């Protein structure tokens, strides 16, 4: 296991469309997932996409601590391989986002409130569930999209140390 180097905005690996994972059961994929977990925890962050560690494959991980969710339930460590998002409700909701590829910065991004995620796990089994913001953020990385490219108003984009903290 290892902490990997994280690419920052401007690096070409973050701008391309990532390739599907051929075999989720490949030991190399499992090792990559474990390295991504180490890297995310070391940062620390709540999500990470493979292109952010210079691997242009369609794989993301995330883990949301209880205190970071509105209902206090959090979300356990999840690996999504070849994820696909279906928007169930076009109604959007604004929320503050940050990204390990834009260290020190945050911005407000409007995203659909309700989505369905279909993906494979590390055993190659398909699964499906409903979740929102962090998954959309991470899956955007697989298509070369960083959150500032989703922002309607760059007036809410800036260095976290300079910004008024959002009220919770
Ligand atoms: Ni990100």
Query: Which has the closest alpha carbon to 59: 81, 74, 37?
Result: 81
- Is residue 41 within a helix (H) or strand (E), and if so which, with residue range? helix 27-42
**Cα-to-centroid distance, 67 and ligand 1 (Å):** 19
The 10 Å Cβ neighbour count of residue 136 is 20
**Cα-to-centroid distance, 22 and ligand 1 (Å):** 23
CATH architecture assignment, domain 12-163: Alpha-Beta Complex (3.90)
Specify the higher pLDDT residue, 161 or 3. 3
Q: How far is 35 from 149, CA to CA, in rounded Å? A: 27
Could you tell me the two tokens for 120? Answer: 């494979």
Q: Please check whether residue 147 is in contact with residue 97, taking contact to mean a CB–CB distance below 8 angstroms.
A: yes
Q: Please check whether residue 154 is in contact with residue 146, taking contact to mean a CB–CB distance below 8 angstroms.
A: no
Q: What integer pLDDT is reported at residue 166 of this predicted model?
A: 56
Q: How far is 35 from 61, CA to CA, in rounded Å? A: 11
**Cα-to-centroid distance, 138 and ligand 1 (Å):** 6
Q: Of 28, 138, 161, 162, which residue is the catalytic one?
A: 138
Which residues are near ligand 1, the ion (C-beta closer than 5 Å)? Answer: 99
- Interval 118-151: pLDDT, tens: 999 999 999 887 777 899 999 999 999 999 999 9
In this prediction, residues 154-163 reach a mean pLDDT of 91
In this prediction, residues 155-167 reach a mean pLDDT of 81
Percentage of the chain with pLDDT > 70? Answer: 96
Q: What is the pTM of this model?
A: 0.91
Residue 138: active-site member = yes
Specify the higher pLDDT residue, 132 or 55. 55
Provide the pLDDT confidence category of residue 164 given band limits of 50, 70 and 90: low
> Is the pLDDT score of 69 beyond 90?
no
Pairing of strands 105-120, 59-64: unpaired
**Cα-to-centroid distance, 143 and ligand 1 (Å):** 12
The C-alpha angle 58, 7, 21, rounded to 5 degrees, equals 15
């Amino acid at each position: 296991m290892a902490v990997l180097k994280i690419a920052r905005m401007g690096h070409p690996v973050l701008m391309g469309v990532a390739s599907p994972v051929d075999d989720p059961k490949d030991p190399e994929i499992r090792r990559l997932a474990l390295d991504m977990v180490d890297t995310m925890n070391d940062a620390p962050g709540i999500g990470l996409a493979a292109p952010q560690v210079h691997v242009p494959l369609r794989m993301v991980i995330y883990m949301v601590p209880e205190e970071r969710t509105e209902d206090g339930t959090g979300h356990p460590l999840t690996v999504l391989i070849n994820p696909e998002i279906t928007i169930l409700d076009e109604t959007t909701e604004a929320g503050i986002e940050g990204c390990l590829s834009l260290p020190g910065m945050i911005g407000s991004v409007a995203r659909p409130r309700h989505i369905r995620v279909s993906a494979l796990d590390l055993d190659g089994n398909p699964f499906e569930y409903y979740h929102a913001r962090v998954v959309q953020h991470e899956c955007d990385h697989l298509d070369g999209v960083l959150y500032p490219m989703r922002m309607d108003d760059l007036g809410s984009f800036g260095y976290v140390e300079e910004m008024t903290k959002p009220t919770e």
